[in-house]
Structure 1
Amino acid sequence: MVKITLPDNSVREYEAGVTGLEIAKSISPRLAKEVLSISVNDETWDLTRPINTDASIKLYKWEDDEGKHAFWHSSAHLMAEALEALYPGMKFGIGPSIENGFYYDVDPGEDIVLRDADMPRIEAKMKELARQKNAYVRTEVSKADALKYFTDKDDEYKLELINELEDGTITFYKQGAFTDLCRGPHLPSTEVVKAIKVLSIAGAYWRGDETRKQLTRVYAITFPKQKMLDEYMVRLEEAQKRDHRKIGKELELFAFSQRVGQGLPLWLPKGAKLRERLENFLKKVQLQYGYQQVITPHIGNKELYVTSGHYAKYGKDSFQPITTPTEGEEFLLKPMNCPHHCEIYKVKPVSYKDLPIRMAEFGTVYRYEQSGELHGLTRVRGFTQDDAHIFCAPDQLKEEFKKVIDIILYIFKALDFKDFITQVSLRDQEDRSKYIGSDENWEKAESAIVEACQERGMETIVEYGEAAFYGPKLDFMVRDAIGRKWQLGTIQVDYNLPERFELEYMGGDGVKHRPVMIHRAPFGSMERFVAVLIEHTAGKFPLWLTPEQVVVLPISEKYNDYAKKVSNVLNNSDIRSVLDDRNEKIGRKIRDNELKRIPFLLIVGEKEAETNTVSVRKQGDGDKGTMTIEEFSEFINKEVEEQLSAIEA
């Protein structure tokens, strides 16, 4: 017999070899129908895998990320089976689950090109195979047998993966006529896959390496019920309407130029206004918290990044060299601001009385992203971080960390990000080789983050292996208006860079001590944050933030002078106003400017010019009546004031 401890700490006994599915059936028939995978001693398993020792378990359903992972990863194998049936001889790379669905990277060969027109055919074959209710069967195989199987199949991609694995750790999964190299876990069978949608076909370099062959990536999503797929497709359609690339173009916020270079955004006047207001908003908050603004160069000597450890950790491919006329000098485009801020700290001696020192910079950095990974403003090669570094004494660390949490929560409230997850990202418990610094410093840093979150009453999830190479961090994942998850703000604790740069302060005891460093970026980057904000609001920004608050629309050219006067008066009253004096009918002007998401439309004609008034229309709220210019100025300023007061409350 084996003792099985359930999540409520109750213990049940079963015969050795019991499976997760059998345990679920013993608890409730309904649970057995809904459960998708199981955690056995914190390792996720198939429901059909025998348990032969005492264990603590958790049963995962669709509502759990682990359940979705098993469902979508199993569906990736189903799609691979369909592709192999439709296109014999196809070779397979990897097929992971992702946040929404899954993909499989495949090599269809020289004579076959998969196109969007093939998606319905693939989808139909997947549905046909799912209805066969084939079991996913796990088999442990030796490395030699695994190599032989895929050698006989002539699949070099799987052979490459197998050669990197240790003997005794290799498993195959088979369903129907398809066998794949995989560690799992998977569903008991294809039966539960009821709704299927192949979403898109794209290109992807093998293992993300631009020097390797480009494979075909097929994206899809599946659900246990058709209703879930229908709801997802509605959300997907809404997401496409909110695409920041589309809205950014419509609102004239940003652009890209092949001549300037891929992944290097150009901020247009309206986008620059939006970004400037965001920066000023954060600068005002930072001033209240005692931050000082600094500015550092866009480049740095290679030695700077060797000292910080970034060069060794990320490799020369992540750093873009700058050609210099003098031999022996090697400069690189700045990929992060922290080494520069360490050097600012060292400019003059520091006393314990000077701490904490809080340096802030909207610093533009450059990182090489593969062209296939670039995506609007969310994945770029040049971006501006709302970066700051706090240098403090160890006994100040927790309090400073909590203050940064407060800043991020304040910003999220201001921009109506109500739904977010906080993730404590710690070291990988098994592989410590990718981190720098002593275990003692890591343990102190990790404890400080956990305790700060507890003292702020925050619910957090813990992810091992997600820490930065120099320290643990707290990441804020925001869900937008249609439920998508984005990583924005981050706070990181670092004992290591102060050591590498030999940073010191004179203590009250007359002895030199090492400060602790906190890295923080509430927005993350201006580019990514603006992209998320556009999609969250569908381009309808809060009145206090939007680049253009008012557009004045003369009914005909006869009233252009009065319209210009109205716009000037508003601009002089700190109301951001523009004039649309095109020779178009007023109905056309109204429609065009509503599409630009401008909150207020002021219509002026003969009556308004004679009475020094404006007819007011509010975006999404229709006609608000006639007001004098002064009344409207008070009206709009009051609304802005109320919005900002609500943030302060």
Structure 2
Amino acid sequence: MSAQVTVSVSGSPREVPAGTTAADLFSDDRAVIVARVNGELRDLTHALAEGDQVEPVTAEDPEGLAVLRHSTAHVLAQAVQATFKDAKLGIGPPIRDGFYYDFDVETPFTPEDLKALDKAMQRIIKEGQTFQRRVVTDEEARAELANEPYKLELIGLKGGAGDAEGADVEVGAGELTIYDNLNRKGEVAWKDLCRGPHVPSTKLIGNGFQLMRSAAAYWRGSEKNPQLQRIYGTAWATKDELKAYLERLAEAERRDHRKLGTELDLFSFPDEIGSGLVVFHPKGGVIKRVMEDYVRARHIEEGFSYVGTPHISKGQLFETSGHLPHYADTMFPPMDLENSQYYLKAMNCPMHNLIFRSRGRSYRELPLRLFEFGSVYRYEKSGVVHGLTRVRGLTQDDSHSYVTPEQAPGEIRHLLKFVTGLLSDFGLNDYYLELSTRSDAPDKKDKFIGSDEEWEKATEVLRQVAEESGAELVPDPGGAAFYGPKISVQAKDAIGRTWQMSTIQYDFNMPSRFGLEFAAADGTRQQPVMIHSAKFGSLERFFGVLVEHYAGAFPPWLAPVQAVGIPVTDDHVPYLRDVAGRLAEAGVRVEVDDSDDRMPKKIRTHTKQKVPFMLIVGDDDVAKGAVSFRFRDGSQDNGVPIEQAIERITEAIRTRAQV
């Protein structure tokens, strides 16, 4: 009688023969692609041991879907090397909504190449190749992958290769493994250095994948390294899910703020100024001003004092704050002036600290809340600059609260209520909170300053306040700023995409570095806690998100033109000018279209410009002292008395209605 072991399958104990694999347990369920064994994902071929806790994982599970995508990346790499014999392998990880794989090839991939690779992948998938895991020594791996220079480099960096995006799917700090793709005859058709796990058969990938595009990418993300060619793809559990994803992409393309910014004449990025530096046109300037007026007034309502600081500073300021040692790569190079090095400001907090330190402070002044629209400049790499959502010159609605340690939880509650109310006013009501903490990895601890005790205390304060809010809280280990943990509000837009918006950061480091003190009630000198908060995050990024959220059809209070008068004939222009004058007196941004275009064309023009209220006037309207409303969706409301029309428009603006 064979030996038996007891395992827990989805929480229920079960006796199975020794040597039983996860595949044996779930052989009746074809949807299972990997197993979670003692909390870790394993191949279905993994042999179970006494006491193992086992759960099935399908592609409906986010972790299972990542495995499916990783396996699809391997199929892509196999297809590339079968089609381009001299191609060398880089890294191929799963990513959000898909996967990529990097290759060293003589010439960049073309759209025709991607079509050919798609067909090659389909053949591999239909063949039903199986993934087989093998543990190898460093020497064995080097011998087997002797013709793959990038894999050899990863082997040499074992344990530290994870600093490169995606490298952790290849090697870790433990044993090395190679995955073989076996054909129908059981022969090795292809192999790759990989930690796994993978789906048991390529057939499980099915037809829910598509290659999307190719682009250049530096090896391990460094401009000092060779430039490789990266192929991006997407993979889903079913073809229907793939179709839905592609439809979402098409909708996202229609909403692209860069495209709409041009069509609606909101902003541009002139080459003469430089990459990532935006100019707002008059209509975009209206929206920007409304946003600024709103958030300035809200800060004052919430007890903040408005301050102003320069765009440039001596480098010593950023040495003191800790930014130059930890943040220099994202700052513009220094300028040598008057025997000193000056830097464009990349953050506002050091200068706010100088305002706090400019005179003695008492506990009676705390919380002391400072706020400004701070223009900052960050040297983002050209490859990541993207419209308004990733710029090099940005405006932060930046605030810093100086509080006693005892006041910190209350101030964070105050700020969290402030930022979520702001998002609601802008129509972003679907969000969750993310708690970014310090990385505990030994090789990354030096990226953060402060003691373990300080980090634990600050993190716990943020966690408790976030949990009290009732919002979903998602951990983000390693995502903290170098000086302290933070809460960020992750808001979903109209088509379900998530954007990081407002942030609240607990800082116990900078007050110490700047020697900030206040006179406590007992007469002692004590150090305040500093809480950073940006409500928009950056005005430019928030603007870009709003354009895409509303697809350019801003609610009336934000729309650059809130109402436009459209006469049926030129005879009706004087009447409309009178109506427009009354609307303007009520604070409405209104225009009258007295161009030579015919009325239907005027309606089409202003519909494309997404004006909330079009007021059409003909003979009947003039006779009745009325206007006819036409809305962006094409519906109309005819013969509305002028006073009632003005009230409807002003009420929609006043209440920030989502019309």
Residue 201 in structure 1 maps to residue 214 in structure 2: yes
Note closer, same or farther for the CA distance 1:130–1:575 as it changes in structure 2 (3 Å cut). Answer: same
Letter in 2 for 1:466: G
Letter in 2 for 1:139: R
Residue 387 in structure 1 maps to residue 398 in structure 2: yes
| Alignment correspondent of 2:45 | 48
1: CA distance between counterparts of 2:209 and 2:267? 36
Residue 423 in structure 1 maps to residue 434 in structure 2: yes
| Other structure's SS at 2:260 match | helix
Note closer, same or farther for the CA distance 1:330–1:79 as it changes in structure 2 (3 Å cut). Answer: same
2: CA distance between counterparts of 1:406 and 1:17? 55
Note closer, same or farther for the CA distance 1:387–1:5 as it changes in structure 2 (3 Å cut). Answer: farther
Shift, 1:589, TM fit: 0.9
| Alignment correspondent of 2:645 | 632
1: CA distance between counterparts of 2:605 and 2:67? 47
| Alignment correspondent of 1:600 | 613
Map 1:83-482 to 2 at 5 A.
83-109=80-106, 112-150=107-145, 152-153=146-147, 155-166=148-159, 168-176=174-182, 177-194=189-206, 195-315=208-328, 317-326=329-338, 328-431=339-442, 432-482=445-495
| Alignment correspondent of 2:167 | none
Letter in 1 for 2:42: W
1: CA distance between counterparts of 2:500 and 2:13? 38
| Other structure's SS at 1:330 match | strand
| Alignment correspondent of 1:617 | 630
Note closer, same or farther for the CA distance 1:56–1:356 as it changes in structure 2 (3 Å cut). Answer: farther
2: CA distance between counterparts of 1:422 and 1:564? 49
Q: Is the 8 A contact 2:388 2:544 kept in 1?
A: yes
Q: Deviations over 1:169-221 (max 9, x none)?
A: 32222224222222233222222111221111222233333343332221111
2:32 is aligned, of 18, 35, 42, to 35
2: CA distance between counterparts of 1:641 and 1:308? 42
Q: Which moved more, 1:54-63 or 1:599-608?
A: 54-63
Note closer, same or farther for the CA distance 1:371–1:547 as it changes in structure 2 (3 Å cut). Answer: same
Note closer, same or farther for the CA distance 1:40–1:339 as it changes in structure 2 (3 Å cut). Answer: farther
Note closer, same or farther for the CA distance 1:23–1:578 as it changes in structure 2 (3 Å cut). Answer: farther
| Other structure's SS at 1:148 match | helix
Normalised TM-score (structure 1): 0.92
Note closer, same or farther for the CA distance 1:618–1:335 as it changes in structure 2 (3 Å cut). Answer: same
Note closer, same or farther for the CA distance 1:410–1:562 as it changes in structure 2 (3 Å cut). Answer: same
Which stretches in structure 1 are left out of the alignment for 5+ residues? none
Q: Is the 8 A contact 1:141 1:168 kept in 2?
A: no
Shift, 1:101, TM fit: 0.7
Q: Which moved more, 1:390-399 or 1:571-580?
A: 571-580
Letter in 1 for 2:153: E
2: CA distance between counterparts of 1:341 and 1:20? 58
Note closer, same or farther for the CA distance 1:364–1:22 as it changes in structure 2 (3 Å cut). Answer: farther
Note closer, same or farther for the CA distance 1:22–1:364 as it changes in structure 2 (3 Å cut). Answer: farther
Letter in 1 for 2:128: K
Q: Which moved more, 1:433-442 or 1:532-541?
A: 532-541
Q: Deviations over 1:293-323 (max 9, x none)?
A: 22211122211111111211133x3221343
Normalised TM-score (structure 2): 0.90
2: CA distance between counterparts of 1:512 and 1:13? 66
Note closer, same or farther for the CA distance 1:634–1:427 as it changes in structure 2 (3 Å cut). Answer: same
Q: Is the 8 A contact 1:210 1:370 kept in 2?
A: no
2: CA distance between counterparts of 1:14 and 1:513? 64
| Other structure's SS at 2:119 match | helix
2: CA distance between counterparts of 1:56 and 1:402? 40
Q: Which moved more, 1:574-583 or 1:41-50?
A: 41-50
| Other structure's SS at 2:434 match | strand
| Other structure's SS at 1:491 match | strand
Q: Is the 8 A contact 2:624 2:639 kept in 1?
A: no
Shift, 1:17, TM fit: 5.3
Shift, 1:450, TM fit: 1.3
Percent sequence identity is 38
CA root-mean-square deviation = 2.4
Note closer, same or farther for the CA distance 1:497–1:222 as it changes in structure 2 (3 Å cut). Answer: same
2: CA distance between counterparts of 1:581 and 1:484? 40
Q: Deviations over 1:220-253 (max 9, x none)?
A: 1112211111111221111111111111111111
| Other structure's SS at 1:371 match | coil
Shift, 1:266, TM fit: 1.1
Letter in 2 for 1:515: P
Q: Is the 8 A contact 2:65 2:237 kept in 1?
A: no
Shift, 1:628, TM fit: 3.8
Q: Is the 8 A contact 1:37 1:66 kept in 2?
A: no
Q: Which moved more, 1:131-140 or 1:165-174?
A: 165-174
Letter in 2 for 1:175: N
Shift, 1:332, TM fit: 0.9
Q: Which moved more, 1:558-567 or 1:156-165?
A: 558-567
Letter in 2 for 1:173: Y
2: CA distance between counterparts of 1:365 and 1:533? 21
Map 1:479-628 to 2 at 5 A.
479-609=492-622, 612-628=625-641
Letter in 2 for 1:387: D
Q: Is the 8 A contact 1:136 1:175 kept in 2?
A: yes
2: CA distance between counterparts of 1:296 and 1:219? 43
Letter in 2 for 1:164: L
| Other structure's SS at 1:378 match | coil
2: CA distance between counterparts of 1:46 and 1:302? 53
Shift, 1:592, TM fit: 1.2
Note closer, same or farther for the CA distance 1:612–1:468 as it changes in structure 2 (3 Å cut). Answer: same
Q: Deviations over 1:331-351 (max 9, x none)?
A: 111111222222221111111
| Alignment correspondent of 2:170 | none
Shift, 1:80, TM fit: 0.9
* Aligned length, in residue pairs: 634
Which stretches in structure 2 are left out of the alignment for 5+ residues? 160-172, 183-188
Shift, 1:462, TM fit: 1.7
2: CA distance between counterparts of 1:578 and 1:58? 64
Shift, 1:575, TM fit: 0.9
Letter in 2 for 1:414: D
